[in-house]
């Protein structure tokens, strides 16, 4: 049996938050937002239909080709001799990865095809949980609390984000992953028949 493994890596920072709020009818929602963004935290993850998240790494800053190549090497060690197809989107960082790992079976999705990439919807679930966590922790994100903890404000923010990522990762359950693979399968016939997808 062949396992399809999808790989993706969205970036987050402490200011990843919900973009909508609630207020009484006729009143506007107001919230002060700081301008300092801090560096990104990137989660590189691979999912498989009957496993949920197969493997993940957390990186600070942007993901380079070297970082991504190291992730693929670690993922290959986990997969072992299992017959797997690694599905990647057409992000520029993925260019040339198949040449670096000729023993692995890579398939690349066509441009602009998130409907064929189940990990995209899995990360939507992940982001929702992360935003909930960060919203709850926002009051702690200030210089006074950082001094109380004995760390810099930037270090406090990065720690809160790292804890938030670890809190949100379990939201991508095996059930969520299976649902997203099933959702992708609803588009396959249309794609094979080269029909337009409108929804």
Q: Which domains does the chain have, with CATH numbers?
A: 3-28+35-192 (3.30.420.10)
Mean pLDDT confidence for 75-81? 88
Query: Is residue 164 predicted with pLDDT exceeding 70?
Result: yes
Confidence bin at 1 (pLDDT 50/70/90): very low
- CA–chain centroid gap for 119, Å, is 8
For 121, residues 6+ apart whose C-beta sits below 8 A from its C-beta are 180, 183
Q: What is residue 31's predicted lDDT score, i.e. its pLDDT?
A: 60
Terminal C-alpha separation, the chain: 31
3-state secondary structure of 87: strand
The average confidence (pLDDT) of the chain is: 84
Q: What is residue 183's predicted lDDT score, i.e. its pLDDT?
A: 92
pTM of the complete model: 0.79
Number of H helices, E strands in the chain: 6, 6
Q: Which two tokens stand for residue 8?
A: 């993706």
Q: What is residue 65's predicted lDDT score, i.e. its pLDDT?
A: 92
Mean pLDDT confidence for 58-83? 89
Confidence bin at 155 (pLDDT 50/70/90): confident
d(CA 81, CA 177): 23
d(CA 191, CA 116): 9
Q: Which two tokens stand for residue 23?
A: 């207020």
* Model pLDDT for residues 95-128, shown as the tens digit of each residue: 999 999 999 999 998 888 888 889 988 999 999 9
Q: What is residue 101's predicted lDDT score, i.e. its pLDDT?
A: 93
d(CA 157, CA 16): 12
d(CA 121, CA 107): 19
* Model pLDDT for residues 80-90, shown as the tens digit of each residue: 877 888 999 88
Confidence bin at 67 (pLDDT 50/70/90): very high
Mean pLDDT confidence for 29-58? 77
Structural contact between residues 68 and 93, judged by C-beta atoms closer than 8 angstroms: yes
Please, where are the H alpha helices in 47-192?
65-79, 97-100, 118-137, 143-149, 153-168, 174-192
């Amino acid at each position: 049996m062949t396992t399809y493994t999808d790989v993706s890596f969205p970036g987050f920072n402490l200011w990843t938050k919900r973009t909508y709020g609630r207020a009484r009818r006729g009143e506007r929602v107001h919230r002060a937002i700081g301008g300092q963004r801090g560096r990104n935290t990137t989660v590189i993850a691979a999912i498989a239909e009957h496993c949920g998240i197969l493997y993940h790494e957390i990186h600070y800053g942007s993901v380079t080709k070297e970082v991504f190549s190291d992730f693929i090497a670690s993922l290959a060690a986990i997969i072992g001799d299992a017959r797997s197809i690694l599905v990647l989107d057409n992000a520029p960082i993925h260019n040339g990865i198949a040449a670096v790992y000729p023993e692995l079976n890579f398939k690349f999705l066509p441009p602009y095809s998130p409907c064929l990439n189940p990990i995209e919807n899995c990360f939507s679930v992940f982001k929702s949980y992360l935003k909930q966590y960060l919203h709850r922790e926002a009051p702690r994100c200030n210089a006074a609390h950082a001094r109380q903890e004995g760390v810099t404000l930037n270090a406090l923010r990065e720690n809160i984000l790292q804890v938030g990522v670890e809190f949100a990762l379990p939201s991508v359950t095996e059930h969520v992953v299976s649902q997203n693979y099933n959702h992708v399968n609803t588009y396959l016939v249309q794609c094979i028949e080269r029909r337009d997808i409108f929804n």
